[in-house]
Structure 1
């Protein structure tokens, strides 16, 4: 249950033969993501549990979830962009149904991220789920 943008990433990864190429892809994907306004980088948007600084600013418009994000680390910014592709554009009610771990495993990310980076990704996913669960409650 992934977005079309995430499916495009999966297809691109199928053509990349080694992890270094995939790693570069994730970094470039993050570089291509629109910059998050510095005014949104406040304590309430900061994700705790990440080794790097990470900010996620959610938007829910007519029941559709999206978010802007940023990080001070290039690979983490790329991971933010990948999560953005996975979740943005989904109805709020569907966000919690996404098995992010399984979807990211399709990219091989679970096997190639350090424990700290994996914990950070998990923290970002937890924040996204919390935001959308609260939005569903009204």
Structure 2
């Protein structure tokens, strides 16, 4: 499935949820499915700056694709980062760099988050793009 297809699938899933309480519950459920990071990956290098909670994103480059794993000490941020990992993990650096984050607006997520959580979300998206750039340069 392409990044665009994954994004559209999430937009469609969120469209079926009636209110933000249901959307929050769905995001939290996504976080519960996230495998998490081992303690040795919860390093300052993997810590996302600008998040209200602690959020770590780790990336591994194998067979020409980037694979992300993440964790958070907060239930909502863990769900949000899980959503991003599900969309961008398993794609090439070019696919990630060619993609956008408009689906976040389509879901309406950013406008419903507090300013500090919205900043954290933007920091997570920037980190994913940063990893794509960094691993593209290593090829």
Q: In the alignment, what sits opposite 2:136?
A: 136
Which residue does 1:115 correspond to in 2? 115
TM-score, normalised via structure 2 length: 0.91
3-state SS of 2:45 partner:
helix
- SS of match in other structure, 2:52: coil
* Secondary structure in structure 2 of the residue aligned to 1:95: helix
Aligned length: 137
1:14: which partner in 2? 15
- Per-residue displacement from partner, 1:73-126 (whole Å, max 9, x unpaired)? 1000000001112211221111112211x1111211022111101110111111
Aligned in 2, Cα 1:89/1:3: closer, same or farther, shift over 3 Å?
farther
Cα distance in structure 2, aligned partners of 1:124 and 1:67: 12
Pick which of 126-135 and 70-79 moved more.
126-135
Summarize the alignment of residues 47-126 of structure 1 with structure 2, pairs less than 5 Å apart: 47-100=48-101, 102-126=102-126
Q: Are the counterparts in 1 of residues 11 and 103 from structure 2 also a CA contact under 8 Å? A: no
Give the Cα separation in 2 of the matches to 1:97 and 1:32. 27
| RMSD value, Cα | 1.5
Q: CA deviation at 1:3?
A: 5.1
Q: What is the rounded CA distance, in whole Å, between the counterparts of 2:57 and 2:71 in structure 1?
A: 7
Unmatched runs of 5 consecutive residues or more in structure 1: none
How far apart, CA to CA, are the structure 2 residues paired with 1:40 and 1:4?
30
Greater shift, 57-66 or 18-27, is seen at 57-66
Unaligned runs of 5+ in 2: none
Give the 3-state SS of the residue equivalent to 1:106 in structure 2.
helix
Instruction: Report the secondary structure of 1:43's partner residue.
Output: coil
CA–CA distance in 2 between the matches of 1:2 and 1:135? Answer: 18
